[in-house]
Chain A
Amino acid sequence: MVRLARAVGVAALVGLAALGGACDDSGTVAKCFPGTAGADKGAFPSSLSAYCMVTLQNGTVTANDGVTPYDLQTPLFSDYAVKYRTVWMPPGTSVSYVEGSRFEFPVGTVITKSFGFPADLRDTNAPVKWIETRVLVHRTTGWKGVSYRWDDAQQNATIEPGGEVLDFTFVNTNGTELSPHYLVPSQAECPKCHANNGSVITLGPWANQLNRDFTYPDGTKENELTHWSRIGILEGAPSPSQAPVLPSAFDPTTGDVASRARAYLQANCAYCHSEGGEARTTGLDLGYDETGSMQLGICKMPIAAGKAGEGQSYDIVPQHPESSILVYRMESTAPAIAMPEIGRSLEHFEAVELISDWINSMPATNCQ
């Protein structure tokens, strides 16, 4: 079935030019195939349906035929949004396995990430209101992204290059009501996170993030690296047991507090706080492989950080989360203080606890 879909995709690519407009209007399944909107040049289509990557029906987003859904070990926190990720590569192409860095996808690849909110996070069956689907297209000139906003009727998602802030409420797992100022990012905000040394990049698909089981639409459970290899979109991957695994930040069976804290920082901070990231100007590097204690913020003065702390002098003071700017900025929801800079308007309580536990577990150090 997958092969068939991919073969159809080839046919679609041949008819690329003609298809763009047809897809744009109705997203008719018969005329629309993944990747047709991933044309190398020109404007993005006005409707998400043109990509034929995902379908939203009855509150559920699903990947279209030939499109691979995936999940990550430790995702980015986005105000408790639920997310659904998909990837599609042009027929006949694949991505090469690499460790310790992001996968470099072939030109033509389309990645989507849909963001939604259940009314009540305590109810796993609660319907999800989908807000937006962000699309990244790999053109010959590089990746380019934009968000599509789902309408209230959950029928169509329309391009929104300017983004917006949405205020609403939902109920958290502990029963409290939360009110995010949820940000649909503008197109120019994509590189706030998705940029390294001036190039737009993908963030999630690393070997250690994908080395996990996923339940596919047909109900089978399979390791994502294995699955990607089996359907021919990943080349050169070792068996999962030979590949690295990033701990899942909130699953204690996947690692100790330190490694899970570092996994969280990798997914939520390191896209900026790393060499080539936007926060390279700060000297704070929160990548999973960083070993320098100063780079990790231990007893590091905040420099060129603007509003760094309120009484705190160091990014991390071992055994003193209350004196650590890292925690202060994770707790804050005030713009200009809150970290990350965009995409989080609520405190991620579980993460603050995890990072605090990590700081408490460090050997005592006098930073003075």
Chain B
Amino acid sequence: MRGNWILAPVALFALGAFVACSSSSSPGSSCPTTSSLCTGKGKCIVVCPSTSETDISGDFAQVSTGDTIVFEPGTYQFNMQLAIGAADDVTVVGAGMGKTILDFHGQAQADDAVFAQGPMKNLTIESLTVKDSPGNAFKTLSVTGMTFKSLEVTWTALDHTDGAYGVYPVQDTDVLVEDCKISGASDSGIYIGQSNYIVVRSNEAFQNVAGIEIENSFNADVHDNYAHDNTGGILVFDLPNLPQEGGHNVRVFNNKIENNNTENFAMTGDIVSIVPAGTGSFVMANDHVEVFGNTITGNKTAGFGIISYEVSQQKFTDPNYYEWPRHVYVHDNTWSHNGYQPDLHSQVGALLLTGASAYPTPNHSVPDVMYDGILDPSMMQDPSYPNPMIICVHEPTASAVCNGHFDKLDPNNPDLSKTINCDATQFACMLPPLPAVSWSGLPAQ
């Protein structure tokens, strides 16, 4: 509850109507004491829209091992974040997306709506909607066994005032994001940061700046998602100056990556603000990435990019950071109608347009697969060994598969038509399939 507190300094001590705070965490009288959703081994705490915010926050703060917090259907208003106490095997569950709605538009402080900081094991959050949080909807740090299931996250403004991330596990292990529906994030709908062992499956991400991001993470399977109408669909990348670097072993498969043409509405200082509208998917500065079985269609700037951090044109000083993609295998995806109108608000989009005359594609659209060709200088650029980063592409149905040779661009007058090479045989190699990501406790789909 927000106290109707002092309105003027003179009233500072005169106002006696202020309601003393309750220390009880018992729910309101109209609230049932149990629920069919109470399945954990610990206590089950049922809360209702009539339960005070302070009491709900207190319930979150005081959870013990095995506890379940059940949200009855209805809309809940919050002006502070809900921070989950560090306990193992905790479940927070609602009546379903659109049925239990946690509305944070009035939140006065903090960067997250729902927040957990471990170390803790096996936290599950499922079946509810979080709406209009000023910051991230869900952030979890240092959790092993983090499950986000059947969550809806929405923002209604669809501009940079929306929160940054919908679902944001960072430095977590064994992360499952499943059956969620995320829209409106001013950075990324589903953002996996600096985590290890990750499955992101069967989610829908739309009208975000980035639909799904896998950043500085290891061992991720991203599959059967529907990423549409974002600025960029599915982005896999590594960034410098972070505690966990060297993103690797990422599989992106069987996703639908469609019509990601929403104008970029990120705040300008945000790194994703440089992503051109109309980006299907890209891999930046990762090692061992396999992309297959996806349907990539209708993305106006480009279908798929394989790029170095240099393309971001951001300076960095970090001896541990490796800025070039390597061991990338793109094969057997389904392509159509990409690259037909590069986003000229973006430097990358404008650069791609300079190659149009040389693109061997219908209507000179941007080739479905574009590699920037920027090599680690320590790799010998021996003509007899033209593919030192081991970028392998087998895409007979793509409009074209090209090496843009950004490394050979004239910095004063960059013109891709002078550097591009669309001979697909340069990528004619294969990499062994990456192993499926799994861990003890990962439920079958």
Contacts and interface: CB of A to CB of B under 8 A. Distances in A.
A166 B269 contact: no
Which of A198, A312, A334, A336 has most chain B Cβ within 10 Å?
A: A336
Interface residues of B, number: 80
A322 interface: no
Interface in B172-212: 186-187, 193-194
Interface in B125-161: 133-136, 141-142, 160
A195 B108 CA distance: 23
A307 B54 contact: no
B61 A171 contact: no
A311 B273 CA distance: 10
B317 A294 contact: yes
B388 to A, nearest CB: 28
Nearest to B85: A188
Given A187-B85, A303-B242, A46 B268 contact: no
Given A281-B141, A335-B108, A163 B13 contact: no
A307 B21 contact: no
B269 A164 contact: no
A152 B315 contact: no
A338 B7 CA distance: 24
B316 A301 contact: yes
Interface stretch (B162-170, B333-341, B362-370): B162-170
A42 interface: no
Contact of B136 (A161, A306, A368): A306
A336 B111 contact: yes
Contact of B6 (A169, A278, A341, A367): A169
A133 to B, nearest CB: 13
B117 interface: yes
Interface in B54-83: 54-62, 79-81, 83
Given A120-B9, A304-B193, A158 B23 contact: yes
Interface in B22-72: 23, 25, 52-62
A310 interface: yes
A308 B269 contact: yes
Contact of B242 (A120, A177, A281): A281
Given A158-B21, A192-B83, A325-B269, A119 B241 contact: no
B136 A119 contact: no
A307 B110 contact: no
Interface string B3-24: 1111111101101101011010
A163 B241 contact: no
A160 B9 contact: no
A320 B129 CA distance: 41
A167 B2 contact: yes
B172 to A, nearest CB: 11
A301 B271 CA distance: 8
Contacts of A149: 21
A161 B60 CA distance: 9
A164 B23 contact: no
B269 A335 contact: no
B10 A162 contact: no
A171 B13 CA distance: 15
Interface in A151-186: 151-153, 158-171, 177, 181, 183, 186
Nearest to B170: A281
B86 interface: yes
A262 interface: no
A339 to B, nearest CB: 9
Nearest to A328: B269
Given A281-B193, A307-B164, A367-B315, A335 B109 contact: yes
A299 B6 contact: no
B135 A335 contact: yes
A313 B269 contact: yes
Given A278-B117, A299-B315, A303-B242, A168 B109 contact: no
Given A165-B80, A311-B269, A160 B3 contact: no
Contacts of A306: 111, 135-136, 163-165, 187, 270
B432 to A, nearest CB: 31
Which of B15, B85, B111 has most chain A Cβ within 10 Å?
A: B111
A75 interface: no
Contacts of A158: 20-21, 23
A205 interface: no
A112 interface: no
Interface in B195-253: 215-216, 239-243
Given A188-B61, A309-B268, A129 B242 contact: no
Given A158-B23, A186-B80, A342-B110, A281 B171 contact: yes
Contacts of A195: 117
A283 B7 CA distance: 41
A258 B380 CA distance: 46
Given A167-B2, A171-B9, A294-B241, A183 B109 contact: yes
Contacts of A299: 315
Contacts of B318: 294
A306 B270 CA distance: 7
Contact of A152 (B16, B112, B134, B267): B16
B165 A164 contact: no
A164 B270 contact: no
A310 B186 CA distance: 13
27 contacts: A117-B12, A152-B16, A158-B21, A161-B57, A163-B61, A164-B1, A164-B21, A164-B54, A165-B2, A165-B109, A167-B2, A187-B61, A188-B83, A188-B86, A278-B141, A281-B242, A282-B242, A301-B241, A301-B315, A304-B216, A304-B242, A306-B163, A307-B267, A325-B269, A335-B108, A335-B111, A338-B109
Interface of A: 46, 117, 119-120, 127, 129, 149, 151-153, 158-171, 177, 181, 183, 186-189, 191-192, 195, 198, 278, 280-283, 294, 299-313, 325, 334-336, 338, 341-345, 367-368
Given A306-B136, A335-B134, 16 more contacts: A158-B21, A161-B23, A166-B2, A169-B9, A170-B12, A183-B109, A188-B61, A188-B86, A189-B61, A195-B117, A301-B241, A302-B271, A310-B268, A335-B108, A336-B136, A368-B315
List 4 A-B pairs, minimum CB-CB distance, nearest first.
Answer: A309-B269, A162-B58, A336-B135, A306-B164
Interface of B: 1-10, 12-13, 15-16, 18, 20-21, 23, 25, 52-62, 79-81, 83-86, 107-112, 115, 117-119, 133-136, 141-142, 160, 163-165, 170-171, 186-187, 193-194, 215-216, 239-243, 267-271, 314-318
